[in-house]
Structure 1
Amino acid sequence: MELLKRRICIIGSGEAGLHLAYALKDDFDITVMERKSPDQFKKGRIMSTQVHFGPTRKREKRFKMPNWEDQPLIESIHITIGNEKLFVGMLQEPALSVDQRLYYSYSINDLIENGVSFRFEKVDKEDLDILLEKYDLIIDCTGKNGPLFPFPTEESLTPFQTPQRKCIVGYFEGIKANNPLGVSVTVLPELGEMFEIPALTEQGPVTILFVMVVPKSDLDVFKGIKYAEDFTLKMRNTVQQFFPDIHTRIDEENFALTDDNAFLQTAITPVIRKPYSLVKNKLVVGCGDSVFLNDPITGQGCNLSSYCAEQLYETLMKYKDSKWDIEAGEYYWNRTKQYVTEVTGWTNAMTKPLPNHVVQLLLQVAQDQAKADEIAEWFANPTKAYEAFFLNNIN
């Protein structure tokens, strides 16, 4: 007689929640609690930017997540400081960006077709006692607004008490793609950064313009904008004034948001938490932004969520036939701690003026394609970026 599968409740179906639902569904009885239906995701406002670098795409293949490989892939990273284009580094493995509205809605429907139970309702803190009784484990994947459970803050990894950037995002048509197809990173010292990201939406290929603004700087001009038409006009003017390379590729007649919900303004206070806790003598764990929330400046949000989901999967498989207790929680944290520390260290450093040795490295690399490719790989393998910033490892 087959033993009953242990019951796991995943709260939230963002990057971490979806990775875990796919990874765990064959070995456990999975229920996902999500306040938005697939249709609400699809018709709603954009939630973020996203670039799935090579390691994340490998994890998606491992867990048999939906395949988007027939879409244009991101091959490169273009680096500009001020108005000087320094170099284009080629990625070892191509990356991909899919509008999360499309990615989430498609994945949820696919999971439902494959037998995963979804409950489309908001979970409040007063609901947690009932869930604790009903399930063997709860995984908090509530994202940037979480967590629901009291995961303790890791003070050494949480130096900021306020947002370091304002995040201004729009998904646009009418921009000629850069060549080779890639993510463009423009650093304007003391003002902020621009990330230009080719992406796939339900309407087809688009360009994400993601401005990270130092508060109260000359780039801080989007405050109070609430309507798509006003946002488009302000972005056009901002690009013309501060980002001339992108402006030369704009088709003025066709430059527009993909839809009226394709823009976003937000600000994030980074906070890193220990991703496990005992609540009423039961282990609860967190995964993704609910416990590992970094500034978006290095584009690591979905990649860190994917990484930590895989580490949690490995933990739960190791303890599949054992008690899920503090030992299991500590094992999960030990698997993730070094990587989380390196991603967080690099990300926090990027919100400050670039260290002189890093600036010198970027300037030197302009004439060395192999070195340029190594720096492009920082985004796929943040450990290398951490070493360059903090260990002066530039070889």
Structure 2
Amino acid sequence: MAGIGIVGAGISGLTLALRLQQLGVETTLYCERDAESMRAARLPGTVARMGHTQARERELGCEHFRDPASLMNTAKLSIKGEPPLEFTASVAEPFHAVDFRLLLPAFMDDFADRGGEIVLSGTEPDAAQVDRWSRGHELMVVAAGRRSVGELFPRDPGRSPYGRPQRVLTAGLYRGLDLGSLFSYNISGGVGEIFRAPMVTREGVVSAVLVEGIPGGPLEPLATTPWKEVPATLLALMREHAPRLAERVDQGAFELLGPDDVLQGAITPTVRRPVAELPSGRIALAVGDAWIVNDPITGQGANLGSKCAWIAADAIAAGGPYDAAFARTTAERMWEAGAPVTDWTNAFLQPPPEHVVSLLMAATTRQDIADLVLSLFSDPPYAWGLLSSPDEVARIVDGGEERLYDRV
């Protein structure tokens, strides 16, 4: 029997495959498309990877596309108002954004060049196909695939508070919006959010813009706007809801890179039950988007997928048997990482409570608090522990700088 089978070549599946390969575990990667097809596909999203995710990639020997112009040490947050609430903050470990049509094929090439086995399915697998593959493996790990995911891993209602999308999303890659390496986070209360990040693409570093519109609000129609009309529509919306960002637009040059460089739609935040017994008798374990799909409002999807893949790889490398008890124990370890991300992200989809507003207000006058707020995106357990605690926020807001760093 040939080791571990992994279904899906997203960041979770590829991180898992590369880590198992590094640890000497025989692994087969099953995916719909080869690397060249992935490079030619439609924009899959706009993703920033935090310092801890990049550190795992360094450990794997898989650092790619580190153009200095794409390394974000500084961010500006602006909340619309009269006057707006604004602050600029810095982090020690920069965020990094690369078009996944470049990064994931590079990871796939790394895996193949090191002797990894890749099986191309050509079509999206269903649960029956996963079961057939499982007969050659000790364990199947499912990291992607709408059909197989829906059939194998039912929604966990206790961990999925939303039954419908909380934001309508439009992500795109644009020329004519130059803020250097600054990350721009813009909030329009009751309307939604607009984010801008520098991203490495096939055309070099350009601006990735993600619009998160509250359903029924003025940002929602952008998600159904024809691609040629998206830039002009977006610019008009930015003037109203992200004026600081609109000021930096070169009107004569502002455009999408092309028709495949925009993604429009919506997701329902969902946590699924992560363990399934296949008809073959073997076990399937869900990781990444097959297990947890969070709204991108906190930028944690790829980072959590990478973290959980790492946890799963270390558990697998420690040895079997790879039965249901093994899968449940591994899922519990992954949930220790997944729970604070999920709770924090779900909370961010609602209006901020008074104590969080007080933290943001303090960040406008204290640089240490501003930097702390930005650092939360790299430390979800601490982020949720802080933001869910009015007392802890008050301790930081009411104390001096020395009190802020008591946790270090």
TM-score, normalised via structure 1 length: 0.93
- Alignment RMSD: 1.8
Seq. identity, %? 26
Distance 1:48 1:16, change over 3 A: same
- Code of the residue aligned with 2:46 in structure 1: it is T
Partner residue of 1:315? 315
Q: For 1:367 and 1:92, locate their aligned partners in 2 and report how far apart those are by CA, in whole Å.
A: 20
Structure 1 position 340 matched with structure 2 position 338: yes
User: SS at 1:86's partner residue?
Assistant: strand
Deviation, structure 1 residue 295: 1.1
In 2, are the aligned partners of 1:142 and 1:148 still within 8 Å (CA)?
no
1:359 corresponds, among 339, 357, 360, to 357
Partner residue of 1:193? 193
Matches within 5 A, 1:156-171: 156-171=158-173
Matches within 5 A, 1:221-236: 221-226=221-226, 228-236=227-235
In 2, are the aligned partners of 1:22 and 1:65 still within 8 Å (CA)?
no
Q: For 1:376 and 1:7, locate their aligned partners in 2 and report how far apart those are by CA, in whole Å.
A: 41
- Code of the residue aligned with 2:139 in structure 1: it is L
- Code of the residue aligned with 2:44 in structure 1: it is M
In 2, are the aligned partners of 1:86 and 1:366 still within 8 Å (CA)?
yes
Q: For 2:309 and 2:166, locate their aligned partners in 1 and report how far apart those are by CA, in whole Å.
A: 27
User: SS at 1:377's partner residue?
Assistant: helix
User: SS at 2:221's partner residue?
Assistant: coil
- Code of the residue aligned with 2:331 in structure 1: it is W
| Cα deviations by residue, 1:297-339 (Å, 9 ceiling, x for unpaired) | 11100000011011101111122xx311122112212212222
User: SS at 2:355's partner residue?
Assistant: helix
Deviation, structure 1 residue 198: 1.1
Matches within 5 A, 1:235-250: 235-250=234-249
Gaps of 5+ in 1: none
| Cα deviations by residue, 1:113-138 (Å, 9 ceiling, x for unpaired) | 22112122222333123112122211
More helix by share: 2
Q: For 2:151 and 2:217, locate their aligned partners in 1 and report how far apart those are by CA, in whole Å.
A: 36
Matches within 5 A, 1:35-184: 35-72=32-69, 73-83=71-81, 84-121=84-121, 122=123, 123-142=125-144, 147=149, 150-177=152-179, 181-184=181-184
- Code of the residue aligned with 1:22 in structure 2: it is L
Deviation, structure 1 residue 361: 1.1
Deviation, structure 1 residue 148: 5.4
Partner residue of 1:18? 14
Partner residue of 2:256? 257
Q: For 1:169 and 1:244, locate their aligned partners in 2 and report how far apart those are by CA, in whole Å.
A: 18
- Code of the residue aligned with 2:58 in structure 1: it is K
- Code of the residue aligned with 1:362 in structure 2: it is L
Q: For 2:293 and 2:36, locate their aligned partners in 1 and report how far apart those are by CA, in whole Å.
A: 27
Deviation, structure 1 residue 141: 0.8
Distance 1:325 1:126, change over 3 A: closer
Distance 1:125 1:330, change over 3 A: closer
Partner residue of 2:399? none
Q: For 2:100 and 2:220, locate their aligned partners in 1 and report how far apart those are by CA, in whole Å.
A: 26
Q: For 2:74 and 2:309, locate their aligned partners in 1 and report how far apart those are by CA, in whole Å.
A: 26
